[in-house]
Chains A and B, each alone.
Chain A
Amino acid sequence: MPKQINVALIGNPNTGKTSVFNHLTGLNQQVGNYPGITVEKKEGICKLPRGLKAHIIDLPGTYSLNASSLDENLVIELLLNKNDKDYPDVAVVVSDVENLKRNLLLFTQIKDLGIPTILAVNMADRMERKGISLEIELLEKRLKTKIALVSARKKTGIENLKELITQYGTISTEPCVNSSSIDPTYFDRLRKAFPNQSLYKLWLVITQDVNFGNLNRNKIEHTNGFSPKKKSDLKRLQQKETIVRYQFINGILKEAMTVDVNAAKDLRSRLDRILTHKIWGYVIFFSIMLLIFQAIYDWSSYPMDFIDNTFASLSEWIKTSLPPGVFTNLISEGIIPGLGGIVIFIPQIAFLFFFISLLEESGYMSRVVFLMDRIMRRFGLSGKSVVPLVSGTACAIPAVMATRNIEDWKERLITILVVPFTTCSARLPVYLIIIALVIPDERFLGVFNLQGITLMLLYLLGFGMSVFSAWILNKILKIKSKTYFVIEMPDYKLPMLKNVGINVVEKTKSFVFGAGKIILAISIILWVLASYGPTDDFDNAEEIVTERYGENLAPKDFENQVASVKLENSYIGLMGKGIEPIVQPLGYDWKIGIAIVSSFAAREVFVGTLATIYSVGSGEEKTIKNRMAAEVNPILGGPLFNFASGISLLLFYAFAMQCMSTLAIVKKETNSWKWPILQLVIMTGIAYVAALAAFQFLK
């Protein structure tokens, strides 16, 4: 027996597969992408009894091996290809005790591939409450497998599951359904043409258009002695196969499973009636959102102030501890403030994802998708577009990729084009700092924090804009389409804090490390560009200040003026002055202009850029927020960040396509530069006009 085995964790969506994976692997897990495609791949190591180790792969959730999306295709390709390094020695099909009938369809299909397959019946703790009883021995006999009753929530049955995985060699690989009975003559011909191949694998290759080894549909159908079937006939046979499987499943569940309806206490239906109500559903949803945004502001202000002050002190400490010189300045004025500009937002981002994870884990998010479907249909989209739009609140890149689940091309294209309007986490730092500067920290009706309300309005604005744009695109794009939407409502459950915690850590980590590296690099470049200049005025800053103000300036003021003249004549200052005429009508100075240009790489760079530029510009204020608050508008006088310029900036960032990576992924997904370029031009145009109108109206 090898020391390490491959275990594939497979199951329908919402069966608690990821919770089982988390219990098996603990923190020994990695998240990556499958080679060549950007579908998330979760894998981890699990220690099994008797010194055995399992390499566990959490495969994307799928209802059957009849693939309709890229994620499902991937599951099939892995299970077919024995040469794949991840090909499982044993498969664990995680099923939900309340939906066993539907879950067993996938189980019987995997079993037919000849892979030792264990059935893990999850949520076993609910059996009593739902009046369900199972005859495990009988089920094991009929399904020719081993069954583990598991409750990921109560952490029960996991050790038993590990034990069964260890004994994978003893599990029968015999199929439990005779799929060739759907057309014996056809399968007989198939068997004769390919005597050395697994019959069910061949059937999947023919019907699913997937490849394994050097076999593909074309090759099979053009093999001598084998006459292929028409596509419509194959579809009919697939339906027949599903019916045969369900007949088998119904038969065994009739014998081995009983449900006492009287014993069940159905809270779910009562909750659903309220939470998906056509009026109360929306009221409750918006109240929850309001509460979340209030909490984000109220709870995270203390850790944020702490981080801001810590970075200011660290910068000061480095300046005084290291030998004086340009490199010390680079660290204290460029790198540390730049990094501070990202770390400061960790508390708010962690709180946001904490709440979103709670909603997802509890089963409420599916109700939100269902609610939104009603609205989306009026604008030419279906609920399927809601999933990318909701995941767009984290990041537009996975959201654009999530559109792969949308079968209809027109609907998919529209969703791809409007997703970048939803408020992603990269916009959050910009919103948070600007809101803190221009919206008073006061209560509305004595309860609601005005800053929290503004943040919520910005989220609604992003969502509203994406829906409105979808409506316009639906009218403009002349592509025929027909679509439907089916969503499974998982049961309500108490969120598992372990899953919530892992999700928060993963999301925060990817925000800090993904954006952090870019911000660090841009901070370094900006500092160099702000600390060196091409003209004599840069080198003669002291003389210019003396000439301008005489000898009367206090040493501190003299230093500040010199730093200011140097900054204006530095490379970045000259570039900023070059673009100033474009941004001035929006109420911005050249420094904000530079921050907007540099944040084209990623929106969150905006705050880091300003932190670096203002740091080089010196000044008494040490924290990022105070430095920004102290900036004076060079033309109009008064604070640079006032209500008018602040709202203008918020609107600019709400609408502008400030993300290179999103453009790249849109190009990849649409296979054309036409759509990302259109997106960039139109979104930037809308952002500019909205920001201009806001400033001119409010100033």
Chain B
Amino acid sequence: MIQEILVWTTFLIAVGFLIKKFFWKSPKKATQGETSICGKSDCGCH
């Protein structure tokens, strides 16, 4: 039983990690992207 719980906990952590890595965009990062030196990179700007 304990081993089953450990397996499913590990599974959820792994799924959570991948979602965070590839799909989750933190509000902080999103804002930084808009204000980069290039501006809203079109980006043949220099």
Q: A70 and B15: CB pair below 8 A?
A: no
Could you tell me the distance between the alpha carbons of A522 and B36 in the complex, rounded to whole angstroms?
33
Shortest beta-carbon distance, A623 to chain B, in Å? 25
Q: B3 and A524: CB pair below 8 A?
A: no
Q: B41 and A36: CB pair below 8 A?
A: no
Q: B3 and A73: CB pair below 8 A?
A: no
Could you tell me the distance between the alpha carbons of A326 and B40 in the complex, rounded to whole angstroms?
50
Q: A330 and B7: CB pair below 8 A?
A: yes
Shortest beta-carbon distance, B35 to chain A, in Å? 6
Chain B contact residues, majority secondary structure: helix
Contacts of A153 in B (CB 8 A): none
A489-521 residues at the B interface, CB under 8 angstroms: 517-518, 520-521
A432 within 8 A of B: no
Q: How many residues of A contact B (CB 8 A)?
A: 39
Contacts of B18 in A (CB 8 A): 518, 521-522, 525, 601
Contacts of A37 in B (CB 8 A): 36-38
Contacts of B21 in A (CB 8 A): 517-518, 521
Could you tell me the distance between the alpha carbons of A601 and B41 in the complex, rounded to whole angstroms?
26
Contacts of A518 in B (CB 8 A): 18, 21
Q: A517 and B3: CB pair below 8 A?
A: no
Q: A326 and B4: CB pair below 8 A?
A: yes
Could you tell me the distance between the alpha carbons of A61 and B18 in the complex, rounded to whole angstroms?
35
The answer, among A67, A328, A517, for a CB contact under 8 Å with B17, is: A517
B1-46 residues at the A interface, CB under 8 angstroms: 2-4, 6-8, 10-11, 13-15, 17-18, 21-22, 32-33, 35-38, 40-44, 46
Contacts of B36 in A (CB 8 A): 36-37
Could you tell me the distance between the alpha carbons of A408 and B7 in the complex, rounded to whole angstroms?
52
Q: A69 and B46: CB pair below 8 A?
A: yes
Could you tell me the distance between the alpha carbons of A522 and B10 in the complex, rounded to whole angstroms?
11
Contacts of B22 in A (CB 8 A): 601, 660-661, 664
Contact stretch, chosen from A108-116, A198-206, A666-674, A684-692: A666-674
Q: B10 and A330: CB pair below 8 A?
A: yes
Q: B43 and A525: CB pair below 8 A?
A: no
Q: B35 and A671: CB pair below 8 A?
A: no
Q: B33 and A668: CB pair below 8 A?
A: yes
Shortest beta-carbon distance, A114 to chain B, in Å? 23
Q: B46 and A327: CB pair below 8 A?
A: no
Q: A36 and B3: CB pair below 8 A?
A: no
The answer, among A77, A520, A669, for a CB contact under 8 Å with B37, is: A77
Contacts of A210 in B (CB 8 A): 37
Could you tell me the distance between the alpha carbons of A404 and B45 in the complex, rounded to whole angstroms?
9
Most A CB contacts (10 A, CB to CB) among B8, B11, B22 go to B11
Given contacts A36-B33, A408-B44, A670-B43, contact A525 B11 (CB under 8 A): yes
The answer, among B6, B15, B44, for a CB contact under 8 Å with A327, is: B6
* A76 (CB) vs chain B CBs: closest residue: B37
The answer, among B3, B15, B35, B44, for a CB contact under 8 Å with A325, is: B3
Given contacts A36-B32, A409-B44, contact A327 B3 (CB under 8 A): yes
Could you tell me the distance between the alpha carbons of A407 and B38 in the complex, rounded to whole angstroms?
13
Q: A524 and B43: CB pair below 8 A?
A: no
Could you tell me the distance between the alpha carbons of A330 and B13 in the complex, rounded to whole angstroms?
14
6 contacts between A and B (CB under 8 A): A323-B3, A326-B7, A404-B38, A408-B44, A528-B7, A670-B43
What 6 A-B pairs are tightest by C-beta distance, nearest first?
A409-B44, A325-B3, A36-B32, A327-B3, A521-B14, A524-B14
